C-alpha cells in the first residue's frame, strides 16, 4: 500500500504541476489535461481494486476494504457538488472547477486515512485553497502599496473601498437601512432552525446539521444568487411569526435552552457575516484590483471577464432584461458582447469604457491547498489551534 501511495503522489504531482504551468501561461486549463487527470485517477482506482482483491484472496496483507470505494464515491459527490456551486456562483471558471474536483478525488487515493474523509474533506480542501489565495492576495496588495511613491494615498483609497463595502450592506448607496434588520432577523432564524432540527433529527441528517460550516459554505458561495431572500420583507414577516411560535413553544417545552439557542444562532450570524464581508468583498476586491482594465466597445471580445462590481451593476439594470444574470467566470458570450457594444454606443460621451478583469490563474492555489492537505492532514485554520 505504501508503494502505491508514493506512486500515486508522484503521478498526481507531475500531472498537477503541468496543469498549473499551462494555466499560468495561458490563463486556461485545457480539457485534454483534465481528461488525462481523469484517466490517471481511473488507473489508480483500478490498481487499488486489484490490490483489494489480492488482499481478500490472501495474496497481500496490506489492502483497503471494499467499503473504502463507497466512501470515495461519497467524497467525489461532495467535491463535484462543490465544484458546480463554485462555477454557478461565478467564483471560478469551469476549468478551475473541474480541476478542483479531480484534485479532491486524488487526495484519498494518495492517503486513504486522510482526515475529514469522506464527508468533510472537500470543505477542508476549500479552506486551504482560499486561505492560501487570500494571504497571497493581501500580501501582494499591501506590498504594492508600500512600494508606491505615496503609500498614504494608496491606503486611504483602500479604507474608502472598505467603507463603501460596508455601506453596501444597507443596499445601494446605503439608503435602505431596513435591509440590515431583515438580514439579521432572517439569518438568525436560519441558524436557530439549524440548531432545533439538529437537536430533533437523528442519524444522517443530524451529522450534517451539527456543523454550521456546511451551511456557511453553501451560503457563502451562493450569496449572489440567494442573498436577496435574506433581505426580503416577506421573509422578515414570516420569520417574525416563527419567532413568536418559537418563544411560545419554548417557554413550555425547552425553557432552559430558550435563550441559549438564540444566542448561539446570533453568534453564527456574526461569524458568517465576517466571513461574507472579508471573503466576498475584500478577497474578490483584492484579487481583481490589480488586474482591472478599461476597454472601449470595439475592444470587447467573447471570453473577457467583467469586473464583479460591473457585473452586479449590469444585473440591476432593467434595460438588459436579465441578459447578465448568469455572467460566469468563463467570460462573456457573443450575445453579451453584442449587447454591451450596443449599450456603450448609445452613451452620450466620447469613447465610453467598461471594466473587465484579466484572467486569473487559480490552479496554483488549488494545487497549493492540496499540498497543505496532504502535508499537514488538516486545514490551516485547525493547524493554528
DSSP 8-state code for residue 357: E
**Same domain for 259 and 321?**
no
**Same domain for 199 and 315?**
no
Count of other CB atoms within 10 angstroms of residue 382: 13
> Per the structure block, which three cell numbers stand in for 265?
444562532
Give the C-alpha distances (Å, rounded to integers) separating 192 from 139, 253, 260.
37, 16, 10
Q: How far apart are CA 168 and CA 62, in angstroms?
A: 57
Q: How far apart are CA 234 and CA 320, in angstroms?
A: 26
**Same domain for 167 and 273?**
yes
DSSP secondary structure letters along 358-378: -----HHHHHHHHHHHHHHSS
**Digitized pLDDT (tens) for each residue of the chain, 385 residues in all:** 788 889 999 999 999 999 999 999 888 899 999 999 999 999 999 999 999 999 999 888 889 999 999 999 999 999 999 999 888 887 888 899 999 999 999 999 999 999 889 888 998 899 889 888 877 777 776 776 666 656 666 667 667 766 665 565 555 554 566 677 788 888 898 888 888 877 766 655 556 667 787 888 888 877 877 877 887 778 888 888 999 998 888 888 888 888 888 998 899 888 888 777 766 666 666 666 667 788 888 888 887 787 777 877 787 777 777 777 766 666 788 888 888 888 888 888 888 888 887 767 889 999 999 999 999 876 655 554 4
Give the C-alpha distances (Å, rounded to integers) separating 362 from 26, 33, 143, 161, 220.
12, 15, 20, 24, 19
**Same domain for 283 and 168?**
yes
Do the domain assignments include residue 363? no
Strands (DSSP E) found in the chain: 292-296, 305-306, 353-357
Q: Among 358, 317, 359, which Cα is nearest to 336's?
A: 317
- The residue with cell 472598505 is 162
**Same domain for 233 and 193?**
yes
Do the domain assignments include residue 85? yes
Confidence (pLDDT) at 356: 84
**Same domain for 171 and 205?**
yes
Do the domain assignments include residue 138? no
Do the domain assignments include residue 369? no
**Same domain for 245 and 158?**
yes
DSSP 8-state code for residue 29: -
Cis before residue 118, ω within 30 degrees of 0?
A: yes
In angstroms and rounded to an integer, the radius of gyration of the C-alpha atoms of the chain is 24
**Same domain for 266 and 191?**
yes
> Contact 292/356 with Cβ under 8 angstroms?
yes
> Which of 288, 306, 336 corresponds to the end of one domain?
288
DSSP 8-state code for residue 65: -
Q: How far apart are CA 370 and CA 212, in angstroms?
A: 23
292 phi and psi angles, rounded to 5 deg: -85, 135
> Which of 269, 288, 307 corresponds to the end of one domain?
288
**Same domain for 49 and 181?**
no
Q: How many domains does the chain have?
A: 3
SS3 content of the chain, % helix, strand, coil (to 5): 75, 5, 20
Do the domain assignments include residue 126? no
Tens of pLDDT, residue by residue over 151-195, are: 666 667 667 766 665 565 555 554 566 677 788 888 898 888 888
> Contact 357/291 with Cβ under 8 angstroms?
yes
Confidence (pLDDT) at 384: 46
Tens of pLDDT, residue by residue over 331-342, are: 788 888 888 888
Confidence (pLDDT) at 385: 46
Q: Among 184, 273, 167, 266, which Cα is nearest to 230's?
A: 184
What are the beta bridge partners of residue 103? none
Do the domain assignments include residue 69? yes
Confidence (pLDDT) at 161: 66
Confidence (pLDDT) at 45: 96
**Same domain for 94 and 199?**
no
Do the domain assignments include residue 139? no
**Same domain for 18 and 70?**
yes
Tens of pLDDT, residue by residue over 297-322, are: 888 888 778 777 787 778 777 777 77
Q: What is the residue range of 103's domain?
A: 2-119
SS3 category, 335 = helix
Do the domain assignments include residue 134? no
DSSP 8-state code for residue 325: S
Confidence (pLDDT) at 318: 78
User: Which residues, in sequence order, are CB contacts of 343 under 8 Å at separation 6+?
Assistant: 319, 320
Helices 178-200 and 258-276: crossing angle in degrees, nearest 10, is: 120
**Same domain for 159 and 28?**
no
Amino acid at each position: 500500500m505504501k508503494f502505491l501511495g508514493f506512486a500515486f503522489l508522484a503521478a498526481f504531482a507531475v500531472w498537477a504541476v503541468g496543469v498549473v504551468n499551462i494555466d499560468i501561461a495561458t490563463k486556461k486549463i485545457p480539457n485534454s489535461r483534465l481528461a488525462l487527470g481523469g484517466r490517471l485517477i481511473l488507473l489508480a482506482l483500478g490498481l487499488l481494486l486489484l490490490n483489494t482483491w489480492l488482499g481478500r484472496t490472501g495474496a497481500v496483507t496490506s489492502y483497503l476494504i471494499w467499503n473504502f470505494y463507497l466512501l470515495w464515491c461519497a467524497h467525489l459527490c461532495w467535491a463535484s457538488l462543490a465544484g458546480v456551486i463554485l462555477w454557478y456562483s461565478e467564483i471560478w471558471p469551469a476549468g478551475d472547477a473541474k480541476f478542483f474536483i479531480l484534485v479532491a478525488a486524488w487526495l484519498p487515493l494518495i492517503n486513504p486515512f486522510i482526515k475529514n474523509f469522506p464527508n468533510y474533506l472537500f470543505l477542508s480542501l476549500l479552506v486551504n485553497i482560499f486561505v492560501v489565495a487570500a494571504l497571497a492576495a493581501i500580501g501582494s496588495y499591501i506590498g504594492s502599496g508600500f512600494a508606491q511613491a505615496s503609500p498614504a494615498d494608496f491606503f486611504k483609497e483602500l479604507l474608502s473601498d472598505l467603507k463603501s463595502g460596508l455601506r453596501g450592506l444597507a443596499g445601494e448607496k446605503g439608503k435602505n437601512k431596513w435591509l440590515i434588520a431583515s438580514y439579521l432577523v432572517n439569518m438568525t432564524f436560519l441558524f436557530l432552525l439549524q440548531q432545533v432540527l439538529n437537536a430533533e433529527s437523528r442519524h444522517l441528517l443530524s451529522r450534517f446539521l451539527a456543523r454550521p460550516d456546511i451551511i456557511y459554505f453553501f451560503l457563502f458561495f451562493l450569496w449572489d444568487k440567494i442573498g436577496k431572500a435574506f433581505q426580503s420583507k416577506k421573509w422578515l414577516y414570516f420569520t417574525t411569526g416563527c419567532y413568536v411560535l418559537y418563544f411560545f413553544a419554548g417557554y413550555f417545552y425547552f425553557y432552559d435552552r430558550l435563550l441559549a439557542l438564540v444566542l448561539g444562532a446570533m453568534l453564527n450570524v456574526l461569524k458568517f457575516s465576517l466571513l461574507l464581508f472579508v471573503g466576498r468583498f475584500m478577497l474578490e476586491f483584492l484579487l481583481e484590483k490589480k488586474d482591472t482594465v478599461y476597454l472601449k466597445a470595439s475592444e470587447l471580445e467573447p471570453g473577457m471577464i467583467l469586473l464583479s462590481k460591473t457585473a452586479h451593476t449590469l444585473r440591476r439594470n432593467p434595460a438588459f432584461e436579465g441578459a447578465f444574470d448568469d455572467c460566469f467566470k468563463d467570460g462573456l458570450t457573443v450575445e453579451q458582447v453584442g449587447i454591451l457594444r450596443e449599450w456603450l454606443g448609445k452613451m452620450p460621451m466620447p469613447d465610453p469604457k467598461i471594466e473587465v478583469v484579466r484572467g486569473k490563474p487559480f490552479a496554483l492555489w488549488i494545487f497549493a491547498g492540496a499540498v497543505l492537505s496532504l502535508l499537514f492532514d488538516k486545514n490551516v485554520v485547525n493547524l493554528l489551534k
